[in-house]
Structures are given as structure tokens and as C-alpha cells.
Structure 1
Amino acid sequence: MHVQTPGRDGAPVRREAHFLHALILLSTVICGTLAPTVIGPVLPAMQQHFADVPGIETLVPVVVTMPMFVLGALAMVIGAVSDKIGRKRVLVGALVLYAIAGTAPLYLDSIQAILASRALVGLAEAAAMTVSTSFIGDYFTGAKRDRYAALQVTVASTSAFVFNLMGGVLGAYGWRAPFVAYALPLLLAPLVQIFIWDTQGGRDLREAHAHAADETTFRPWLLALICLAAFGVGMVFMVVPVHLSFMLVQLGVHSTGAIGFAYAMNSVGIIAGTLGFGWFIASRFSVLQQFVLGTIVCGLGFVCMGTAHDQTVLTLGGAINGVGCGIVLPALVSWGLRSLPFSRRGFGTGAFTAAQFIGYFCSPIVVMAMVMHSGSRFAVVQSWGLALFVLAAVCVGGSLLRVRRLKLG
């Protein structure tokens, strides 16, 4: 796709985004995967280090969830700011802040100070994820945009798998060591500064975009619908990461290797789903069909997990669910980007990113409330699968009724 940028005389100059630019932007998604993966293995050691702090059992898990909470609260605001002042400066600043705040626990000796630094990590994460996604919407259209939206999730899932291993290795050197990984965005900041050009400039640039990339109009009701879908996707996505290990233990599986393998298969499923979306599904199915397909596959995985009586079937169910999540996540991003005009893309991307992370945050709360009521994670997970089947059927039925009404009208 050609992108308009201002020349020396103020007139728009056409540039073309290439794979290098996409690769740099895709790499910034590591900001969304470092928090729960790198430091997860050392949380028990951190809790032991601060054992004399009252309520430490509650405070240590918040070290992981604090960035998600801040991201959910601020992503929309930061996206709106990037619409006004330009995305590049926001992204570069976010990468630097992420590295500074992320590595702060290497020398902080107070759990309260560490939590404050984690809040700054959430601020930087909100900016990096919102702006990088907005850039992809600015730089690319059509099949390329869909493919790179899918690759975002592919890179995130792959990096999560790698950082999980890295966290375990670094954790052998103490609970502080894994926080070194948060310095990685410092390598990306210069690349963004040098190779990424801003898609915003003076009035001439905005007018050029109004005729080129900004063909759609801003529809608040559609953004609200996308945010609702994003919240639901976030709720569904977090079920397996949070509950799979507990379900395996309930079946008598206590080997960390076997549990790690089950999680790896879920990650492989997500990667397979994103690749299938980018190279096949996106170009052949409508948005509704993409969501219906992904919802059915997610539901199938949940039902398989809920009815499992052994480790193999449960692991298979987690992998199937991963494929479905790998379809609906890029479908959501692609739908959001194609529905937003250039002038509100940062705001809109921030809105559905925030809704998705609020879904992440709420998912364990809702699921555990259901588990306490029913007494079984297996029954709850199976009921989620059946609910997804019903949702897919309602979507298909509603679409058929709409088509029929159009024909009769």
C-alpha cells in the first residue's frame, strides 16, 4: 500500500510500506507478551523474598495483572492522543518507557515500588500495542492488512512460547533476573525512529488521507459492537491459559513437563490458526463467517476439554481451542482496522484493545464464580463450549434472516 507523507515543500509524497516496516511493527508485540510469560516462573520466589510483607500472597499476582489493568484503562486515551500528535513519537517513547520501567525490579527493594513500576509498564504497553496495530492499519489495506493482523498474533504467540522458556532459564539466577528481558524494546526503539515514518502531518497530508485511506466514516455504534466482540474474545482466550494446568492436576497429571507440553500445544494451535487465517480464511470468508468458524472451533475445543478423562484428550482440546482463538483474534483486529477511518484509527484501536484486555482481566473472575457454583472446572469449560455453539448458530440464523429480508424488500 502507498502511504502519503509530507515532503520538504509540505506536499504529500507517496511511500510504500514493505516487509521491513511490517517486521519492525510486528516485533513490538513482545511488549504484550513479556509480562505474564517471563516473570511467571519466578512469582513463588518473589513471594518468598517479600514474605514479611502483609498480604503478599495477593500482591505478587498483581505484579502480573497490573499492566493488563492499566492497559485496559488507558489504551483508548493513548490511541486518541496518537491521532492528534502522531503515532511515531508515541511508539518510540513507549518502547523506551517500557524498558526503563520493566527493568526497574532489578534494583527496587519495595513491593509497592515494583507495583508502581508495573503500572508504568502497563502505560507503555498500552501505547506500544495500540499504536503498532494502528500503524498496520495505516500502512496496509485488503489482504496484506489481514495477513499482517494475523501475523501479529502469530508473533505474539511464538514470543510467548520463547519467553516462557527464557523466564524459566533466567529464573535459575534469582527472581530478579527475568526482568532483564524487559530491556529488549530498547533494541526496537532506534529501528522505529530510523525506519518507520509517521502517517500524520500537516493539513495536506490529512486531506490526502481523507481521499485515499479514509474512505469509511466513523460509526460509533459499529465501534461499540467491535468492542463488545473484543471483550468476548478476551474472555474466551484466557480460559485455557488460566485453567488448563488445574484441570490436568485434577486428572492426576503433576509432571511440569507434561503440563508444559499441554500449554505448548495450545500455543501451537494458536499459531496454526493465525497462519490459516492470514493465508486462507481472510481472503475467502466474510467477517461474520470468520467469527462463526473461529467460534465453532473454540467451542469444539472447550467441549473436548470438558469431557476429557485423560491427559491426551484434554491436551488435544486445548490445542483445538488454540486454533479457534488463532482465527478470532486476527479477525477481530482486521475487522476493527477496516471499520475505522484514519482520523480515528488510534482512538478506535485503543478502544477495542482495551475491551479485549478487560476481557482478559474479567475471565478468571467469571469462570471461578461459575466453578464455585457448579463445583467442577470441567463442567464449566464444557458449558462455555456449548454456549459458543449456540452463539454461532444465532449469528448464522440472524445473517440468514437479514439476507431473506433484503431479498423480500
Structure 2
Amino acid sequence: MSRSPSAPARAAGPVQLVLLLVGSCMPVLGAVLLSPVLPRMEEEFAAVGGAEVLVPVVLTLPALFIAIGAPFAGVIADRFDRKRLLVWAMLAYSVCGTAPLYLDSLYAILASRALVGVCEAAIMTCCTTLIADYWSGPRRVRYLGVQTLVTTVSATLFFALGGALGAGGWRTVFWLYLVAAVVAVPMARFLWQPVRPEHEADEPVSAGRLAVPVLVTIVGGLVFYTLIVQLSYVLDDAGVTDSAAIGGITALMSLATAIGAGLFAKATRLGLRPLLAGEFAVAGAGLVLVGTAGSVPVVVAGAVLTGFGTGLLLPTLLTWAVDGLSFAQRGRGTGVWTSALFLGEFLSPLVVGGLAAASAGLGGALGIVGGASIVLALVVAVLLKRGSGQHAAAFGRAAA
């Protein structure tokens, strides 16, 4: 697509924001929609060797392929066209997402889920990059926080939808992937490829610029996803076996995450170093509470604390990583950040499972993850104070 240097700048508004926020929810759809129907899928494929392991992978496999594919999606977004990549990815997402409606092989379904992850990598990278392209300064910061808020709320909605649709059979939930094709139509009409500023060269993203934010984001993704996966097991061990009660407590944690994300724009006034350190400390303290709790009320309190901390954490990590990038670098930088986040999410159940096997069960594993998060809060505080002033400065300019 050609870019005319003299073309007037177009002003993005509510329509563009809504479309990009809806697009950002697609990876969440893939992550939580299938959770309620996994037992039925396992019954369906009980004759397949290793089905008890392979069926849960249907849920987690897209996250791995988001981690693998997002950097490549970022390169394509920077070198070609963010809007076109997004629209085509949304259409492909619908095709791959609905494939299990007619696939009878578990291995074929797994292959389709890998392709869903590739599509999600492009969708998440392009949506986040276009938000950063269309808006700047305080509005960019606010809308990145809103992105986390909306995706968090949608996770609760999609979980409920998955349970309701699953009553009609495990395949029924896959019809919901058609929504991406519907949304792709107004995206093609109302979104546009931004014009690269004339003074910007097509320069590579500095590895040093992103190294620290990316490494911290991997741990942030791991912390964020820990209770999303493990809370129901903790509650079951605590004697809460009613699915409605578990769903209500999970929704309460999601609400706390949404509140944290909603407060992000105002919280940026604190500055990057205290905000990031505080977020890891709060989330870690919540995990320690959950891991060591002797009663359900303490588990709930810890879950709410963790949810609030991670709700603030994700937009902070994203703003830290990508806000200072130029237009020519933004897609690649966003892709690398997205890869780091979903790598952390993919690793989370593996790390917790390994720690649980090596320590005193699930509670001990959660306590270790929480303690590590608190230690990281201290490390980040020292690291940013000594060597990453440029990151803090970029964050401060965004919030100003």
C-alpha cells in the first residue's frame, strides 16, 4: 500500500477504538471459551492414546503459537500494512476457529488450534499497534488501560458463554468464532493504515531498548495467569465444590483485575518504578495469601489482591515496552512484547505444576510464585533506579 507524505492525518474516534478493543478480545475468546467443555471433549476422544493430556492442550496450544508468531506478525505489520494484516487475520481466525465443528480427528483439531494461535498473534499485535498509532500521550495510556479492562471483562463473559453453549455439546462453542468474520467487515471499512512520519527511517528495534521490559513481561505473564488456571483447584481443596460458588469467586477476581486496569491511567502519575514494583508486590502478596490460606475468606481476599495487582500490571508493562518506539518500530516492538506475555502465560501451569510436584503441593507452589513476584518487585525497583532511566522517562512523557 502506497503512503502519500502529503496525505492529511486522519483522526481516530470511538468507532476505531471499539473495533480495536473487540479485536483485542479474540485471543481471550480462544483462551477461556473451551475451558467448560474440556471434560466432554475428553470423553469424546477417550479412545485416543494420551487424550487426558492432549485435550487440555487444545486450550493452551494457541498461547504457545501466539508467543512464536507475534514477533513475525510485528515484522509484517511494520513492513507492509497493519490494517490489511488485521482484517485477513480476523477472517482466517474464523475459518480456523470453527474447524473443530467438522473435524473428527483430535490431532486435526490440535493443528487447527495451532493456526488459531498464529491468527491471534497477528490480531493482538495489530490491534495494540494501531491503538498506539492512532493515539498518543495520555489518551494512548488511557486506551491501553481500557484494552486490558475490556479483555478482562470479556474473559468472564466468554467463560459463561462457553458453559451455556457447552450444554448443547462440546462442538457448539466453536460457532462463536464466526464473530471475528463479522467484525472484520467494519474493520475493513473504518480502519486505515497510518502514514509513516517523513523523518522516520526503517530502523531495527534496539535489543537493549526492549530487553528488560520483555524479560519482566515473561514473569508478569506467568504471575497473571497463575490464579486464572489454579484458583478453582485451590477452592476445591478448601472445600468449595459448588461450580456456581467457584464461578462467583472467579468473577470477583476478574472484577478486581478490571478495576485495576481501569485505574491505570490515573496511577501513571506515580511513575514507572514505584508503580511496577508495587504491582508485583501486591500480586505476589495475594498469591502468598492464597497459597498459605487456611480458610476460604482468606483465599478470596488473596485472589482479589492478585487480580487487582495484575490488572494494573499488564498495561504498565505494555506502556513501558512500546510507548517510546517510533512508528517504524512499533509493530515489531509490540509483537515481541506480545510474544513475551503469552510465553509467560503458556509457562505458568508448567512452572506451577513442577513446583507443586517438588514442594508441598499446590499451596506451596503458589507461595513460591508469590514470593518470587515480591522479590522481582525489589529487583525492578533497584534496576530501574540504576540503569533504565530512559524507560522511566518515556513512561513519564506518556502519562503527562
Normalised-by-shorter TM-score class: over 0.9
> Are 2:267 and 1:281 aligned?
yes
What corresponds to 1:342 in structure 2? 327
What corresponds to 1:407 in structure 2? none
Offset from partner CA, 1:183-222 (integer Å, 9 cap, x none): 111121011111111114xxxx4415x29xx9x9943212
What corresponds to 1:352 in structure 2? 337
8 Å contact 1:39–1:178 — kept in the other structure? yes
Offset from partner CA, 1:71-91 (integer Å, 9 cap, x none): 111110111011111101100
Offset from partner CA, 1:338-385 (integer Å, 9 cap, x none): 132211111111111111111111111111111111122222222332
Shift of 1:239: 1.0
CA distance in 2, matches of 1:260, 1:17: 37
> Are 2:225 and 1:234 aligned?
no
What corresponds to 2:81 in structure 1? 86
What corresponds to 1:406 in structure 2? none
CA distance in 1, matches of 2:362, 2:71: 34
Where 2:221 maps in the other structure, the secondary structure is helix
> Are 2:202 and 1:245 aligned?
no
Q: RMSD value over aligned CA atoms?
A: 2.1
What corresponds to 1:62 in structure 2? 57
More off after superposition, 305-314 vs 383-392: 383-392
CA distance in 1, matches of 2:291, 2:45: 37
CA distance in 2, matches of 1:65, 1:308: 28
> Are 2:198 and 1:207 aligned?
yes
CA distance in 1, matches of 2:348, 2:375: 19
Q: Which has the larger radius of gyration?
A: 1
Offset from partner CA, 1:72-120 (integer Å, 9 cap, x none): 1111011101111110110000000011110111111111211111111
What corresponds to 1:305 in structure 2? 290
CA distance in 2, matches of 1:402, 1:231: 20
Aligned equivalent of 2:23, options 10, 15, 28: 28
CA distance in 2, matches of 1:328, 1:395: 13
What corresponds to 2:109 in structure 1? 114
More off after superposition, 30-39 vs 173-182: 30-39
Equivalent residue letter for 2:111: A
What corresponds to 1:224 in structure 2? 211
Where 1:12 maps in the other structure, the secondary structure is coil
Where 1:253 maps in the other structure, the secondary structure is coil
The number of aligned residues is 388
Instruction: Return closer, same or farther for 1:371/1:100 CA change in 2, 3 Å cut-off.
Output: same
Equivalent residue letter for 2:60: T
What corresponds to 2:394 in structure 1? none
In structure 1, the gaps of 5 or more residues are: 404-409
> Are 2:175 and 1:180 aligned?
yes
CA distance in 2, matches of 1:106, 1:351: 32
What corresponds to 2:144 in structure 1? 149
Alignment of 1:314-333 (within 5 A): 314-333=299-318
8 Å contact 2:288–2:368 — kept in the other structure? yes
Equivalent residue letter for 2:231: L
Where 1:52 maps in the other structure, the secondary structure is coil
Shift of 1:292: 1.1
Shift of 1:155: 0.9
What corresponds to 1:393 in structure 2? 378
Equivalent residue letter for 1:361: F
Q: TM-score, normalised by structure 1?
A: 0.90
CA distance in 2, matches of 1:357, 1:250: 28
8 Å contact 1:217–1:341 — kept in the other structure? no
CA distance in 2, matches of 1:57, 1:117: 19
CA distance in 2, matches of 1:197, 1:90: 11
> Are 2:245 and 1:258 aligned?
yes
**Identity percentage over the alignment?**
37
Where 1:238 maps in the other structure, the secondary structure is helix
Shift of 1:306: 2.1
CA distance in 1, matches of 2:371, 2:61: 32
8 Å contact 2:70–2:125 — kept in the other structure? yes
Equivalent residue letter for 1:374: S
In structure 2, the gaps of 5 or more residues are: 389-400
CA distance in 2, matches of 1:230, 1:141: 22
8 Å contact 1:6–1:13 — kept in the other structure? no
Equivalent residue letter for 2:267: I
